[in-house]
Structure 1
Amino acid sequence: MSSTQEHAPRDDREEAVAEAARPAVVPTPQGTGPSRPGRSWSAVRALLVRLHFYAGVFVAPFLLVAALTGLAYTLTPQLDRLVYGDQLTVAKAGGEPRPLAEQIAAARKAHPEGTLASVITPPGPEDTTRVVLSLPELDEKQRTVFVDPYTAEVKGDLITWFGSTPLTTWLDDLHRNLHLGETGRMYSELAASWLWVIVAGGLVLWLGRARGQRARSARGVLLPDRSARGVRRTRGWHAATGVWIAVGLLALSATGLTWSHYAGDRFGQLLDAAKGHAPELETALPGGTAPAEGEHAGHAGHGAGQGAASTDPADFDAVLAVARDAGLGGRVELTPPADAESAWTVAQDDALWPVHYDQVAVDAAKGEVTSESRWADYPVLAKLSKLGVQAHMGLLFGIVNQILLALIALGLICVIVWGYRMWWQRRPTRDDRTAAVGKAPARGTWRQVPLPVLIVGVPLVAALGWALPLLGITLLAFLVVDVVIGLCLRPRRA
């Protein structure tokens, strides 16, 4: 996003960009020896130009893949309805729903295999009830049987993963790890680790550019200069679009890092230190010895134990009635106890705003709530983490959330394409000097950075490298390669 002269020919513009990125040199009197570079705040901008350039060139492909796969994932609710509409929806909505016991009996008659893990009530009048079965051969996946709540007719079954359909699971794996397992997760973590750096650097460069009166107006920041031509025009679209989607990109970077592999571990340590985890629901019955269940215990069959195998389907209706009396409305998931000393778990799963994530533990024999975990009692960090993940997945505001994510993904794709186009437009085109792309910003600018910036910046970068390991490792690799290239070019320059 560095500035160029407005009316220079293309090859002169390329020279102007390279010259603007070169460190300032303080002249010395003749005969006193070679000139030495002086420290100035303009060197900070030159260093930022170089960082933004190289991060964009090498990390943008990862961001492009993340944007394309993320764009596909935002469409999963509609795709699920299109592909699995027969299982997810009823033929005719209306009337009084049948008891859960009757619906469970129909599901178990069609699929007697496995263990009854949980039952999920319909989120809307046109949706089916989900009876989740745990089978050892499916590992952490489950078989979900879809039942019409009004007729107790089995509409079909799917192999699900934490409640997600096969199509959503496939697109989720594509976005998270490109179907390459744990190794593939590094691609998405690398993209999320560098995304906020690229966005922040681009904002600083664009807002701090020297463009007269236009730079001081909101129009000059938010809209491209349509009268510009060549690389200036492309830069205007690149920067203005980046400004519009900057907040969304920063949010996606932060939320994506919270459940990444390496940075996610660091975030977990932060939650431990700040006591910012969600409160756990105590599922041990009074006088029992069963351990406390975590937030995800029992979700979609994970946590169903031997006690679930002998559960009476009629208990589901009794437990649901107790949970409704305790204030749990809307869609809920009912998970049988793991053993005789544990209580039932009933958890709300309403991601639409305002969200509902209350949980209660129910003693089915006594028909009373033994423990509860209310959304209002979550620590601030736990709330932000939960809401951030839901927003990242496009679930928090329903269709509005999906549209926002789609616009951000499309904007990021355009910004990346315009960034590479700028690199190509800045190439020299003279007959005696041609190249496929423009010259990179000048090396060695860090030597002219003011000492206070280095004193504060170096420890800060080291801390960021610890908190975001992939960012630290790749940045260190950039520096090593840069030093090696500099050493190789030194004899030629001499």
Structure 2
Amino acid sequence: MTSPAPTLERAPAPGAASVPDRPRRTSWFAPFWRWHFYAGFLVLPVLAVLAVTGLIYLFRFQVEPLLHADLMRVEPAADGFLMPYAVQQQQVVDRIATDPSLAGATLVSVTEPGDPYSSTRFSLAMPDESTRDVFVDPYDARVLGALNPDSTLSGTAVRLHANLMSGTVGDVVIEVATCWAIVMALTGYYLFVRGWTARRRVLRHARAAAGTPGGGVRLRDATLRQRHAVGGAVVGVALLGMLVSGLPWTGVWGAQAQQLASRGGTSFWSEDHGAVSSPTSTLDESLPHSHARDVPWALGGTERPTSGAGSDTGSEDDERSVANVDTAVLVAAREGLARPLTIALPETDDGVFSVIGYAFHDPTAERTVHVGRFGGEVVSTYGYADYPALAKVVAQGIALHEGRSLGSANMIGSAAMCLLVLFVCVSGPLMWWRRRPKDGTLGAPRARMPLRTTPLLVVALVALGVFLPLFGASLVLVLLADRLLLRRVPALSRWFGVRAA
């Protein structure tokens, strides 16, 4: 690494009054640019995956029926009469008994059609812990076929979005990338504000020299820089909101924050105080994992109550008193739940029908009614109004994150944000590629954070590291690598642009 050229100081003129030296202002631009540069290299690949998979998930209800029209789309009957769900359920039970590919499956839930052209979906839990969806024509109870929801385009997108389909390792990678994306966004805003005048000047000069040799290249570079800056500034606030609202899903921060919240008497999700027994399962466990999204976020950990014990007299009246899935739907409709409904079926003899009104566009209308399987009575109800304050905040944040809180505007805005994120993910590396050094070095800005002269910055980094533990841990690793490795190996020092020890 070459040393900086020595600066020549002009001697004061004879007889000139001596002027005291002014303290030099600490420049944050180059250090923030360096952090923005490295954070981008760390997180842009993950952000690109999250943006693409998020875009697919946004339009899943439009895309999947096109890809699987033979299973998900039906022609309405002339009279519009729907077969009872109990009849449809029996057809699925018969299919399980005769189809070797469904051997050992357990029927766990049914989701009613969302419109006259949609089929009824029955969700199964398989012995190998995978899931299957069986689709039934609601007008004639004919089984249309089965599908592994994890193998669909949107199912694959969901699994990539959750943990890169890599379990705990992928979950940690996404959480670390999320933390550093926050750093990238914050440093990006600083660079946007401080560098606005310089970028405009460079763009103006590039336009003036567009007709000269090499002027076209300069103009394209200057235009790309400006568009990257403006695009990043537009998407930055929304990106920060998406990143923060996605943290409750993470395995480290989400789990630790939930524990702290529980100790403080609140929760990220609800506890159904209407549960009058000691249930053995929760709503998200009773549905196939790929359909956990059918359970409102705050209700995901809700304990399921049980039905009251039925009479053991064996009389004919007792037989008639046993409720079924149609009873549960009627009771839920009477209670005013949002449609379409998902009904989690009883798992045991004393189980309940848990009817879930997801309220897609209105989290405040989320509500679940537990219906007894013997008399069809309402065992308990629980909804948004009963959530702890923190669960209400998280429910609203998740709805915004999924593009469903403000109707079409939220969905369109989320889609636009995904596209802008993809633009930033492409334009950033493209700018580096066009301006990369020809000597084989990385070309990162050569500057160090002025931590010794700005204690407030140290406090901010420590606070962020404590609030985001994986960021704090990764930051320590980065600083140790910089001090113990990069600065002690000449080849690495030169390539990364750091001062050798």
| TM-score bracket for this pair, using the shorter chain length | 0.7 to 0.9
**1:32-431 pair list within 5 angstroms:** 42-92=26-76, 95-112=80-97, 114-135=105-126, 137-139=127-129, 141-160=130-149, 166-209=152-195, 211=197, 229=219, 231-274=221-264, 275-282=266-273, 284=275, 289-291=277-279, 294=282, 296-300=284-288, 315-353=324-362, 356-396=365-405, 400-427=409-436
Structure 1 position 387, deviation (Å): 3.5
- Residue identity in the other structure for 2:106: T
Q: 1:415 to 1:279 in 2, by over 3 A?
A: closer
Tell me the CA shift for residue 352 of structure 1. 2.5
Aligned to 2:469: 469
| Structure with larger RCO (C-alpha < 8 A, sep 6+) | 1
Q: Is the CA contact 2:122–2:133 (under 8 Å) kept in the aligned structure 1?
A: yes
Q: 1:197 offset after TM fit, Å?
A: 1.3
Q: Contact 1:282–1:372 (CA<8 Å) still a contact in 2?
A: no
Q: Distance in 2 between matches of 1:482 and 1:193?
A: 19
Change (3 A) 1:468 1:125: same
Deviations along 1:368-410, whole A, 9 cap, x unmatched?
A: 2121112223234313323333443445456655543332232
Deviation at 1:198, TM superposition (A): 0.6
- Comparing 368-377 with 74-83, greater Cα deviation is found at 74-83
RMSD (Å) for aligned C-alpha atoms = 4.1
Asked if the contact 1:131/1:145 (under 8 Å) is kept, the reply is yes
> What are structure 2's unaligned runs of at least 5 residues?
13-20, 98-102, 209-217, 293-302, 311-318
Contact 2:396–2:405 (CA under 8 A) maintained in structure 1: yes
SS in structure 1 at match of 2:27: helix
| Match of residue 450 from structure 2 | 446
Q: Matched residues in 2 for 1:334 and 1:110: separation?
A: 20
The equivalent residue for 2:439 is 435
Q: Is the 8 A contact 1:74 1:394 kept in 2?
A: yes
The share of aligned pairs that are identical, in percent, is: 30
Distance 1:158 1:389, change over 3 A: same
Unaligned runs of 5+ in 1: 1-14, 31-36, 429-433
- TM-score, scaled relative to structure 1: 0.76
SS of structure 1 residue aligned to 2:148? strand
* 1:158 aligned partner, one-letter code: L
CA distance in 2, matches of 1:28, 1:471: 47
Other structure's SS at 1:131 match: strand
Contact 2:353–2:372 under 8 Å retained in 1 = yes
Q: Distance between the aligned counterparts of 2:434 and 2:39, measured in 1?
A: 18
Between stretches 246-255 and 72-81, larger displacement belongs to: 72-81
Tell me the residue number matched to 1:34.
none
Worse-matched range after superposition: 374-383 or 324-333: 374-383
Distance apart, 1:123 and its partner CA: 1.9
Q: Which moved more, 1:259-268 or 1:417-426?
A: 417-426
Q: 1:158 to 1:369 in 2, by over 3 A?
A: same
Alpha carbons of structure 1 residues 121 and 436: separation in structure 2 relative to 1, 3 Å = same
Shift of 1:322: 1.6
Q: Which amino acid aligns with 1:446?
A: P
Aligned residues: 442
Aligned mates of 1:459, 1:403 — CA distance in 2: 38
TM superposition score normalised by structure 2 = 0.75
Q: Is the CA contact 2:363–2:396 (under 8 Å) kept in the aligned structure 1?
A: no
